[in-house]
Structure 1
Amino acid sequence: MKITIEMSEGAYEIAKKVFSGVYSRVEGKILIAQRTGMNEGSAQDFITIFLAMMDGKVYKRAFNNATNKYLLESIRRDYGNEVWLKALSAAEKHINYYSTLGKGNLTGYQQIVDEMKNQLRAYG
């Protein structure tokens, strides 16, 4: 199943509530599936990736570039540059991890990260 931006938008709002402790990971996964139509496995992955980004930690599951970009932009908007820099660090760790798998490189995702880092340098 292709994860759409609409699904990602709904999932993001619930993932924020998992992060803040309103919902458990299991509750969040079920709510995302119910409200967006995303399957529970993808919903779990979404939460895992969001939480890893918030902590600047590597994650091993992947989403499409539109969802990746949406996550990074939304984290910057909602949590500010300090947390956004952690999210960018997590994205770079994921890109590096993926490159070790022998499945190719995430060049599109790397371009998104590079563009965002350049925006930070240009606009602060």
Structure 2
Amino acid sequence: MKIPNSCVPDAYLVATHVYHGQTSLTDGAQLLVNRHGLNVNSARDYINNFRYLMEGRGFTRTLNAFSMEYFLEQISTNYPAATLRNAVRALREHILYYQSVQRTPVTLKTMWSIYARFAARLPPRFQNELEQEDVESIAVQTLSRADIIHALRSLRPTDSQLVTLQLRQYKRDNHTVALLKILRNHACQICQTTIRKQNGQFYIEAAHITPKRLQGCEMPDNLLILCPNHHKEFDFGDTVILSRDPHELVVSLNGITHTISLRLE
């Protein structure tokens, strides 16, 4: 059954009511069935997919391009940037799922276009976060640990600012950070904490030893992989670098000394 675009605004509105607890999933779906003649499964898809978009979770039941664009436009208008980041992330996971089961390339090309357009609306830090997640996803599937080490050791400050992976371009800096996160097992180099996200992936941050404002670059020997707490402490605490070479950093954070390996191994 082809679903008319005219029902999409109402489907979005009902989905928001269900998400915010103003009505139940069953009642919301039945409302769409009664108003627009949708079958109950299609009605539920609109409602459930809105939840997945809001929470940044991949989903397998598809929406057409018009519906996806409308939902993202409304989320962009009515919710904070972090929520749009979640929605863009969920769309990416949805596209990658359909790529894995080899669905229609034309439809996926349209969805990638929607993804790129809304990702471009995000603040730079969220854009970088999504790019790094993209690179991690590709690298985990296509590169061995030895490949990652070789790629990081081969980096030069004069390298091109863009990297092409699977026909898409990424910033060189985001590519470097993503590979380093994988190599460090997504664990804080000070406390070894790992943070698992709702989608099963890991969250970790990268800190510059020499800050970017002082011309610090995204080379492996200038990056630490840290949990949010130690990242903030490193950037804003009483930080004293006691010694540093290409292989090791010894740093005092608020009076506590930490020895951190910078080796690529």
Q: Give the TM-score of the pair, scaled to structure 1.
A: 0.90
Provide the residue aligned with 1:82 in structure 2.
82
- 2:115 corresponds in structure 1 to 113
Cα deviations across residues 56-83 of structure 1 (Å, max 9, x unaligned)? 0011011110111001001111112211
Q: How does 1:36-47 map to 2 (within 5 A)?
A: 36-47=36-47
Distance 2:81 2:35 in 1: 29
Corresponding position of 1:58: 58
Q: CA RMSD in A?
A: 1.5
Higher helix share: 1
Q: Is the 8 A contact 2:85 2:122 kept in 1?
A: no
Distance in 2 of aligned mates of 1:77 and 1:68: 14
Q: How many residues align?
A: 122
In the alignment, residue 115 of structure 1 is paired with which amino acid? R
Q: Which stretches in structure 1 are left out of the alignment for 5+ residues?
A: none
Work out the CA distance in 2 between the residues paired with 1:12 and 1:112.
17
| Worse-superposed segment, 74-83 or 12-21 | 74-83
Larger Rg: 2
Q: Using a 3 Å threshold, how does the CA distance of structure 1 residues 80 and 5 change in structure 2: closer, same or farther?
A: farther
Bigger relative contact order, structure 1 or 2 (CA pairs below 8 A, ≥6 apart): 1
Paired AA for residue 15 in structure 1: A
Q: Is the 8 A contact 1:57 1:89 kept in 2?
A: yes
Residue identity over aligned pairs, in percent, reads 30
Q: Is the 8 A contact 1:76 1:84 kept in 2?
A: yes
Distance between the aligned counterparts of 1:2 and 1:74, measured in 2?
A: 23
Task: Letter of the 2:112 partner, please give it.
Answer: Q
Query: Contact between 1:7 and 1:38, CA under 8 Å: does it hold in 2?
Result: no
Q: Offset of 1:33 from its aligned partner?
A: 1.3
Deviation string, structure 1 residues 91-122 (Cα, Å, up to 9, x no partner): 00000011111224411011111122224369
Kept in 2: contact 1:10–1:35 (CA 8 A): no
Tell me the equivalent position of 2:9: 9
